[in-house]
Structure 1
Amino acid sequence: MRHGRSGRKFNRNSSSREALARTQATALLREGRIQTTLTKAKELRPYVEKLITTAKGGDLHSRRIVARDIQDNSVLQKLFNEIAPKYEGRPGGYCRILKVGVRRGDAVTMALIELV
């Protein structure tokens, strides 16, 4: 039984899952929206929302915590200078997932994840 076990494995080891989350979060924060599979988008949303909530703190400790995951300095600056202040009065729900259809090759459901 899988009681209390959260998260999807994506048929990858833990370091590959962590790298996938980091790169997709960096791309989402850089571009504002990305297209990916629905399951990856569902895993990415809480990851990005926690990063934005931490960045709303704005202090050095918050910056160092977020910098563990976002290793691109330009994206890190954009997160702290543009994205986090935009959501200052919002208690959560920074991302939106929209289904866009199925991928032709393997018929997996594709989704668009974007910042609100």
Structure 2
Amino acid sequence: MLHGVHKIKFRKGKDAGRSLVKKALTDFVRHDTLVTPLKKAKVVKGIVDRLVGKAQGKTNADMRILLSMLNDKMLVHKMTHIIAPRMNGRVSGFVTMKRVGVRFGDGADMARLEWIIPPVEVKKPEKVKGEKKELKAPEKVEKKPVKKGEKKVAAKKK
């Protein structure tokens, strides 16, 4: 019996809980925001703080830990090259959690996770209005009429 240890547990068991957290973690890193039940948000927030610290280290061991948690090389690249430099100078507290309300279906308390420093959106250049490419109609190929007395000859096979 461990007195004073308050660990958040999920009902469906250890393995199912671990996969729930991994899925929520990858969704958060991919989309930069996550709306999830409060209990799961508290767990994900702590794990994200640890992973951003690993991403700032950039050693091979840290990269392997990130890859084992995120299961995607593109997300590891995003953590190390986009998110970690943006959080430069911070030791912890990379994620903020805001309560959203309750879920309509079952009344579960919901929370939104967001980065403390919002991501910079890159704007794509807009297309100039008024300039449209003219589409050309395909050229029609004329068929030669076959005379009544002639037969169509197929190519001989070798």
Q: What's the TM-score once normalised by structure 1's chain length?
A: 0.92
Structure-2 residue corresponding to 1:82: 82
Inter-partner Cα distance in structure 1 for 2:105 and 2:2: 31
Inter-partner Cα distance in structure 2 for 1:59 and 1:82: 16
How far residue 5 of structure 1 moved from its aligned partner, in angstroms, is 2.7
Inter-partner Cα distance in structure 1 for 2:6 and 2:114: 23
Q: Kindly report the root-mean-square deviation, in angstroms, between the aligned alpha carbons of the 2 structures.
A: 1.4
Q: Which amino acid aligns with 1:86?
A: R
Inter-partner Cα distance in structure 2 for 1:72 and 1:48: 15
More helix by share: 1
Inter-partner Cα distance in structure 1 for 2:57 and 2:111: 30
How far residue 47 of structure 1 moved from its aligned partner, in angstroms, is 0.8
How far residue 13 of structure 1 moved from its aligned partner, in angstroms, is 1.4
Structure-2 residue corresponding to 1:31: 31
What SS does the corresponding residue of 2:70 show, helix, strand or coil?
Answer: coil
Structure-2 residue corresponding to 1:56: 56
The structure with the larger Rg is 2
1:28-65 C-alpha deviation (Å, 9 max, x unpaired) = 11111010011110111111110111111012221012
**Preserved CA contact (<8 Å) 1:7 1:43:** no
How far residue 2 of structure 1 moved from its aligned partner, in angstroms, is 5.8
Identity of aligned residues (%): 31
**Preserved CA contact (<8 Å) 1:55 1:84:** yes
What SS does the corresponding residue of 1:4 show, helix, strand or coil?
Answer: coil
Structure-2 residue corresponding to 1:68: 68
Ranges in structure 2 where 5+ consecutive residues have no aligned partner: 117-158
Inter-partner Cα distance in structure 1 for 2:2 and 2:64: 34
Instruction: Count matched residues.
Output: 116
Ranges of 4+ aligned residues in structure 1 off by more than 4 Å = none
